Structure 1
Amino acid sequence: MKKLDTKLMHPRDQIILIIDKIYKSGLTTTSGGNVSIIDQSGDIWVTPSAVDKGSLRPSDIVVVRKDGTIEGRHKPSSEYPFHRAIYEARPDIKAIVHAHPPALVSFSTVRQIPNTNIIPQAKYVCGGIGYAPYELPGSEELGNKIADEFIKGFNAVIMENHGTVVGGSDLRDAFQRFETLEFCGRTIIYGNTIGTPNYLTDAEIEEFENQIPRLLPEMSHVEHPSEERAIRQEIKKIVHRACKQGMMISSYGTVSVRWRENDFLITPTDVARWDIQNDDIVQIKGGKREPGKTPSRSTWLHQEIYRRNPGINSIILTQTPYLMAYSVTDEKLDVRTIPESWIFLQDVPNVPFGSHFAGEETILNVLSENTPAVIINNDSVLVTGDKLLGTFDRLEVAEFSAKSLTMGASLGKLVPINNDQVEALRKKFLG
């Protein structure tokens, strides 16, 4: 599948692409939410009013011309007035996403703004978050209050007892901001379920942004034999699968697979994970990178893991909703929930934020045959394994375990598999 160049897609097709992702990700309902784009002519393309978000077609999208003329089979969204107000207030904004995702609605109903310092990339993806007091949906008053927040420089606004609205330089930018903000909200809520969330300081986030190691030198000659191409296809499929299953978001996630000896292939940086294609993936060979490509900023860590652990042939570094609850609270993930969890994971320790930076040894010293995964505080989970599908399975088991524990927190204290039962599992499955 060819990479989607949304900048050359018609606004109708862009909107269908993104509203479909929003709906299928469970971030809006059949009737809720709306998306728009303003084009170079000043015309606003917007989702229609009262049409099923799960089955929208390009022909359903409405255009409101610069002169106010409406063209299309339907009425424009009832929230069109605040879209127009935002575009008038902020000419730099070219796309808007509004919806009622569960976590951000939760924040809106308790009159709070999620603290995006919960994970490192969110501060720069989301920026500051505004807050618009309640007004009647679809009213000019609501549009004015939201526009006032955008005038202050915010690109994302929590709408009191309503939801959220975000703007972007294009629709991909707006969607990434929307998705990342909802992920922050969920992480905080799930973290509060099992403990007390900790937040990164601005200095720690700056350190994260500044720790990008010097790029590896470019190789002069690149080979793409059949087995190398097969690995690219495998990585792409797993990344897309992870995105569809909510195990990876647009703004964060890295997958790599060993190729020959210590050479490997790894996902790039600054590419929306849901749209990564075979030719985006970066080959690392002999300590050099494929020309013209920027590999993940965690490339050094992957390189060292492969160099020091001959039995590890694939790595996934990502943010999943329930494992991140353990990441941000520093609570211990006890995998003695069901036999499968212990067999697949055995132990999942927490390591400090920054342990994944270039030159750090903590993760490299912790990983072993009995410790195939680690949780990096306020950052991510790192899972290793032999075959990539098996590594993804291990990630799924870890996330399901974290979800079960988070859900079970309201029922009572975990009663884990006891030591004798663990030893019996060890002898039968690992002996």
Structure 2
Amino acid sequence: MAEDKLICFTEDEILKPREIIIELMEHMINRGLTDFSGGNMALRVGEKIYSTQTHSADKYRWKLRPDNILVTDIDKNLLEGRKETLSREADLHFGILRKFQDINCTIHGNTFYSPLLVSQGVKVWGATEVAQYYNIVEIPVVPEGIPPLSDEENNMIISMFEDLKKKGQALVVIMPYHGIIVGAKDHNEAFALFDAVESNSKFILYGELLKTSMLVNKIFEKMGNSLDKPGQVKTNTGNVGNIGEGSGSIFQLDSKNKILTSEDISDISQKVSSKTIKVGPDVAITDFALNKAEELGIKIIKE
């Protein structure tokens, strides 16, 4: 019996670049990783670069056909398609692929969570196990004021990618009020990284919202406990002893208190002469408390 012959395929023959891009960009919109106003992708296969064309989102609504995928060389010379249909971020994609020979796929999406966080001054770091798996430590952000889609922004992102590579971290940059851009060795890793970044940002946002919600609940609970019950007459009991105790020039907040409000600051200032209040590391301090302390010249320190 004759031995079976092994057939070896080249990478170019195995991959179907057009189908890969169509499938991944469909996943992008289905996962909420981009919207119907933008997003694009570039994939290097051999000496060719396959990329999405402009208006893939708003005109074609991500229902792409193989002839919607452009084919060029690394210098953006069109092999298939029309040059005017190159996406707005084409210069960025090609700049990254030209700079890093080991990066074969770049994906950009008009994401929601990551730009939202950084626009409000929240740092995006590797909070989830998946983010840590992909070596997401702290994602760099393009400074506000840099013109979007400009050579300055493109060069800055490429420089950020260089720094990330030196540190062995995931190649991802957040573009404020715009989206994110990722780069990876292949399309599978690029898409998984992109999804991990947005899931991580969602995790951070929900965590911040939960902490805020719990803080608000504690404030209202404390306010409710201080309200007079019907039929009762409020008396001044001097509850500083329940809040904490003074020791020299420092007032120590009782360890049972897990939140410091402006009402507490006022109460303490009326009962004792301390100008410094020491609280435990897990005590939540409201903005109103900080403002009241500043108004009264009181310093709040955490242990």
Is residue 2:100 matched to residue 1:90?
yes
Q: Report the TM-score when normalising by structure 2.
A: 0.58
Aligned to 1:348: none
| 1:207-251 deviation per Cα after TM superposition (whole angstroms, max 9, x unaligned) | xxxxxxxxxxxxxxxxxxxxxxxxxxxxxxxxxxxxxxxxxxxxx
1:191 aligned residue (207, 214, 221):
207
CA distance in 1: counterparts of 2:129 and 2:38, whole angstroms? 30
Structure 1 residues 108 and 39, CA, compared in 2 at 3 Å: closer, same or farther?
A: farther
SS across alignment from 2:157: helix
- For structure 1, list consecutive stretches of 5 or more residues without a partner in the other structure: 197-324, 327-431
How far is the alpha carbon of 1:80 from its aligned partner? 0.5
CA distance in 2: counterparts of 1:163 and 1:114, whole angstroms? 13
| 1:142-174 deviation per Cα after TM superposition (whole angstroms, max 9, x unaligned) | 211110111112511111332111111111100
Is residue 2:32 matched to residue 1:26?
yes
Aligned residue runs from structure 1 range 120-199, under 5 A? 120-128=129-137, 129-134=139-144, 135-152=146-163, 153=165, 154-195=170-211
2:76 aligned residue (56, 68, 73):
68
Task: Percent identity, please.
Answer: 29
Aligned length: 194
Is residue 2:15 matched to residue 1:9?
yes
Structure 1 residues 168 and 182, CA, compared in 2 at 3 Å: closer, same or farther?
A: same
SS across alignment from 1:131: coil
CA distance in 2: counterparts of 1:181 and 1:142, whole angstroms? 20
How far is the alpha carbon of 1:67 from its aligned partner? 4.4
Aligned to 1:44: 49
Residue 75 of structure 2 contacts residue 94 of structure 2 at CA under 8 Å; is this kept in 1? Answer: no
How far is the alpha carbon of 1:84 from its aligned partner? 1.3
Amino acid at match of 1:25: R
Structure 1 residues 139 and 169, CA, compared in 2 at 3 Å: closer, same or farther?
A: same
Aligned to 2:278: none
How far is the alpha carbon of 1:25 from its aligned partner? 1.3
How far is the alpha carbon of 1:7 from its aligned partner? 8.9
CA RMSD, 1 decimal: 2.8
Residue 80 of structure 1 contacts residue 138 of structure 1 at CA under 8 Å; is this kept in 2? Answer: no
Q: Report the TM-score when normalising by structure 1.
A: 0.42
SS across alignment from 2:156: helix
CA distance in 2: counterparts of 1:113 and 1:44, whole angstroms? 34
Residue 16 of structure 1 contacts residue 57 of structure 1 at CA under 8 Å; is this kept in 2? Answer: yes
Residue 79 of structure 1 contacts residue 137 of structure 1 at CA under 8 Å; is this kept in 2? Answer: no
How far is the alpha carbon of 1:83 from its aligned partner? 0.7
CA distance in 2: counterparts of 1:148 and 1:93, whole angstroms? 15
Residue 130 of structure 1 contacts residue 157 of structure 1 at CA under 8 Å; is this kept in 2? Answer: yes
Residues 71-80 or 27-36, more deviating: 71-80
Runs of 4+ residues over 4 Å off in structure 1: none
